[in-house]
Structure 1
């Protein structure tokens, strides 16, 4: 029996999770929400996390009904992510490890998403589409690494959606991407946008610049509504992602696709991916907002897998790495 405490704070979510042998005992989370039209900056986000992390740890221990002495390992997000928020979480994690005399593990954020997705969906060896505010990658496991088959060459898909939400002054509560999704459901007219797939890679900055520039004119003229543009943006960027995922599945002869990351809760993306998988005779897996949005349990789960494989982080290596590639981690816990 292994109990892992996981702390996540790489972006605007601060989460603390407790995992016990693949079972979620607790997973509370708080989100830093800014006014409409504004993004979140590292300093203010880190301040939010500092104010919330201790109450969240106490709440997680209470929900899990465990005492500190029962915890086997402390796990924290090493990266990738925003520097200031990551540092705050790492400092608290190191402090807990010292106070409670526990081993510590620095977890790759992306691998946290993948391991949580595999656990919750019971998928075996899927081709993974990892889509969030800061990351967009198509990933498959091979020879002790999560190999990146394709990725964005500029901004992440979640960042693209968030930035267009700012143009439209949509609320950031609960998230700009969620409000784009709700608006898109009311869209009727499709506006043609640049479709940029380069082999296995995708690019979103050009089409974002185009729609940002055109949106005021199109809406003011009455030719298109804001809902039409949200619908058009979603359809275009998701089609790009489904195309590259399908190409990776064909290359890997994969019969499973798993969507992880915050954008992975989008029901339209899930529906498009499901259609593609059904046409291939494959199965599509996804989770809901409890586990696809950044959370502490996913860090605890990845740390739990690493700990069981006798992997811990040396004290002198318990720093953060803002640019921490998914394929840098040796995945010793998988065959």
Structure 2
């Protein structure tokens, strides 16, 4: 994601761009962290793959209704660009489909705490992927932060006696998704449109197969359940739009701090609302993750401050 411009002073009164960006970004993370888990929990009796199939279909309908009048079909096709770029979209499509399916499965199977762990780990995964594929280098504080986070995850693995695969699946799928999108410089909304459009044939095929076998849930449990499945489109698209509004108006350091609202909401829901276990091993792992994220965020803030001082001194 390109670095957002610095907040500017509003022209002609009204809310400043920074205020609008903060509200939009905070709203997006609250939807992802608090609303979306509760929403998908209401569809707990429906399989994760069927929910994702509906999510794909209704997201295409919603995003298409927005993009076609504003960008036109030619604009969307230009976003694809070439056969090679289409191959990139196939990779990002597979990654986001995996992320959505695992997330919804985790909600329906009482694994929201582990899901939150995955999204806490995700920034650290991004750092490691940046080192491996973008030739990025860690500062001393960043290196310490990664080691602290790794120690926390290792302690949880040892206490479980098994790998927390939900957490790693979510962190790795979204981490590689962000990496591929960054390297390919994919427009966020056109990217979402193309990725979901590529998923429409298998999604529709699966839904039609379920219907033919009499095992589909759409139209079988009343208008309320049907509306919940249809609303999976807005639940997918709206927070993304809000996030893009925030990203365009906030500094990356502010956005980086706000991103922890999402997994924190998931963690609180899992423990306080849905009664999932939060053991001493969880506490140790999360304490390490939070300490690592605090250290990493502080390093980013210090680095930004130093850049501003250097730029001011050069003027």
Band the TM-score falls in, shorter-chain normalisation: under 0.3
- TM-score w.r.t. length of structure 1: 0.26
Q: Highest relative contact order (Cα 8 Å, sep 6+), 1 or 2?
A: 2
Counting helix residues as a fraction of each chain, which structure ranks higher?
Answer: 2
Counting strand residues as a fraction of each chain, which structure ranks higher?
Answer: 1
- TM-score w.r.t. length of structure 2: 0.27
